[in-house]
Amino acid sequence: MKLHNLTPAPGSNKKGKGRVGRGEGSGTGGTASRGHKGSKSRSGDKLKRAFEGGQMPLQMRLPKRGFKNINNVTYIPLNVSRLQEIHDNYGLTEISKVTLYNEGIINRGDKVKVLGNGEITAKLTVNVDAFSATAKTKIEAAGGTVNA
């Protein structure tokens, strides 16, 4: 087998229609291979994405459920034990959303809430969106400061 011997499998390549509706001699004159009547034979035909031939579409047959609260605020949780890890690994004493983003811990625009799970010994200045009461007391007990 050589490269010049390679050919597509029989029947896998179909010839296109070419210029349709250009007289009977072209083989696609008259109806231009669109058949007779109906919306698909006419110009400007474009069915809706979920159109099912007049049958009630699936998305309308299924019941509506729940809602999306536009006032919902989602926080990325960050425990004080994780703050201790960040201090140990990166040597940071001031932790803010910018430093967390630069270290790849959060994404741009994420809101961060510090939670009180774990222990902390490092004296840190923490500058994020929200704190739980236990996290605040643990950070301040370790000699750090919190700014929400």
pLDDT tens, residue by residue, 42-99:
998 888 899 998 999 999 999 999 999 999 999 999 999 999 999 999 888 999 999 9
Rounded Cα distance between 113 and 135, Å, is: 10
For residue 88, what are the domain limits? 75-147
Give a yes or no: residue 137 inside a domain.
yes
Task: Give me the sheet containing 94-96, strands edge to edge.
Answer: 94-96, 125-127, 145-147
For residue 36, is it within any domain? no
At 113 the three-state DSSP class reads: strand
Number of domains in the chain: 1
Is there a domain that residue 118 lies in? Answer: yes
For residue 68, the number of C-alpha atoms closer than 13 Å in the C-beta half-sphere is 2
> Which amino acid, residue 76?
I
Q: What percentage of the chain has pLDDT greater than the value 90?
A: 76
Model confidence at 142: pLDDT above 90: yes
> pLDDT-based confidence at 39, cuts 50/70/90?
confident
Q: Is residue 56 part of a domain?
A: no
Q: Which residues contact 20 (CB under 8 A, 6 or more apart)?
A: 26, 28, 32, 33
Quickly count: other Cβ atoms within 10 Å of residue 53's Cβ.
6
Instruction: Evaluate whether residue 90 is within a structural domain.
Output: yes
Please check whether residue 101 lies inside any domain of the structure.
yes
Element (H, E) at 76: strand 75-79
In this prediction, residue 26 has a pLDDT band, given cuts at 50, 70 and 90, of confident
| Helical packing angle, 133-141 and 80-90, nearest 10° | 40
Q: Quote the tokens at residue 44.
A: 């400007």
- Domain containing residue 106: CATH number: 3.100.10.10
